[in-house]
Amino acid sequence: MNQTELDPGSLFRTLADPGRLRAWQLLVQEELTVGELAEILGSSPSTTSGMLKVLRESGLVAARPDGRRVWYAAAPCPFWLEEALRNSPLAAADLHALRRVCAAREDSLPAEDPRYQPGRSWESLARGLLVASPLGVVADLGVGGGELSLLLASSSRRLYAVDRSEALLLALGARCRERGIDNLIPVEAEIATLQLPEPVDQVILSQTLHHLPDPEAALATAWRLLRSGGSLLLWELGLHGQDLGFAYPGFSSDTLHECFTKVGFIQVEVLDVGKDRRQLPVLFARGIKP
């Protein structure tokens, strides 16, 4: 079923069931097996399989066979559905259980599994690089699930976590308290009209532009927030030719370079940094405010 065939009434009826809504929200975050999803939900495998069957029939979930296992993940979400559910993030308990299950999955990989690499952890690599190059005052615009904000806060003097979803920011604040993070400041605001009490050293825009009706306005906000010599760091989808229901179907390197330059950034770099786990291209861009 493609997105043009998705019936809004059918989708909302499907997600009106609390169990199916929780399952779908988890699968938006991570690809999971029936067993992993059942463990997080606290339901039996048969009940979980029944929920997945309904979600697949509605076009909300896709399955990927992998040997004896089947992996389930949320299908690309229409923009109108994403907006409708924006203020309904995962509960803190579900996020905690999801992280526990994913960590257990990594720990259980046998040494002969081709996915196992001794000592390899992208999070540990990122944390090490942040320790080696500490950040100053940072604004993370559009925090999503919050993992990047939490990671950046560990090496920032102060981090402003900006999003328009109050519920998402409340959940992020709770996770900060759990981890003893006291330098992350949640800010509920629209990016285009955002005001902060001080200039910042870095602005982060990670997979945010393609959700926005006016990407250039977000870049202009980043320029306005930065001190002279500060930098904008951006990760975005490259052009991918898939209808994911977002405001923009990715960006070309030339488009990002032109937008950065138009706003006033100098020393602009745009790099192709590979693909995500669904084979969508990812670009990284950096610009300096003179």
pLDDT tens for 24-70 read 888 888 888 898 898 888 888 888 999 999 998 888 888 888 777 88
Greatest CA separation found in the chain?
A: 59
Give the model's confidence band at 121: pLDDT under 50 very low, under 70 low, under 90 confident, else very high.
Answer: low
Q: How high does pLDDT run on average in the chain?
A: 82
Question: Which has more confidence, 95 or 49?
Answer: 49
Which phi and psi (to 5°) does residue 30 adopt? -155, 145
Which phi and psi (to 5°) does residue 188 adopt? -90, 115
pLDDT at 159: 94
Sequence-ordered strand ranges (E) for 95-245: 137-141, 158-163, 184-188, 200-206, 226-237
Question: Which has more confidence, 75 or 128?
Answer: 75
Delineate the domains of the chain, giving CATH numbers in brackets. Answer: 3-107 (1.10.10.10), 122-288 (3.40.50.150)
| SS3 state of residue 151 | helix
The amino acid sitting at 106 is E
pLDDT at 260: 96
Q: Report the pLDDT averaged over residues 222-239.
A: 93
C-alpha span between 209 and 282 (Å, rounded): 13
pLDDT at 155: 85
Segment 254-288, tens digit of pLDDT = 999 999 999 999 999 999 888 776 677 888 999 99
Give the model's confidence band at 229: pLDDT under 50 very low, under 70 low, under 90 confident, else very high.
Answer: very high
CA torsion through residues 6, 12, 16, 18, sign: positive
pLDDT at 277: 62
